[in-house]
Each structure stands twice: as C-alpha cells, then as structure tokens.
Amino acid sequence: MIEGVLRHRTDMDADRPYTDTHGAFIVGFGFAYTLDFKLVPRLKNIGSAKLYRPAAGEDENWPNLVPVLSHQDGRRDLIAQ
C-alpha cells in the first residue's frame, strides 16, 4: 500500500489511497500519518463493528457519527500501553 503511494509513477497527487480491510492496520495508519497522506480503508462488515468515541461529551464534534457510535468511551488506559 505504501509502496503504491510513493511510487505510483503518475503526475496525479495521491494523497488518499484506499485499501481493503486487510490493509487497514495500525502500522499502516502510522506510516500514512508520518508521510502526510490519509489512509482510507474500506472495511468489511462495517455494520457489525463497534465504533468508540474518543471521550465522553464530544458528540457535538461528530454529529454525523452519533447514531453509530457506542455509548462507551475508548479504553485510553489500554491504548496508552
């Protein structure tokens, strides 16, 4: 995925590469952030996935996502590890 973005051999500005579910992993997002492009995954079975809000009380920041967000916050203690 990253190889395709860096060496796509066109004049086009590829700043948002798409990938399937298997290309959406934390290392890929880290490299994408470091290389200043946005990784846009197409997630299989997104309807059955739980989406967690970053912190309680931030619903106004994500009005279009409120209907699909879990009522639980992300586990920041686990993320910090």
Each domain of the chain, given as residue ranges in start order, spans 1-44, 50-81
- Map tokens 């279009």 to a residue: 64
Q: What integer pLDDT is reported at residue 49 of this predicted model?
A: 72
Phi, psi of 52 (to 5 degrees): -105, 140
| C-alpha radius of gyration, the chain, whole number | 15
Q: What is the pLDDT of residue 50?
A: 72
Percentage of the chain surpassing pLDDT 70?
48
- pTM (two decimals): 0.40
Residue 21 has pLDDT above 70, yes or no: no
Instruction: Write down the mean pLDDT value for the chain.
Output: 69
Closest by CA to 16, choosing from 66, 46, 8, is 8
Residue 39: the pLDDT is 75
Tell me: pLDDT of 62 over 70: yes
Give yes or no for residue 79 having a pLDDT over 70: no
3-state SS assignment for residue 73: strand
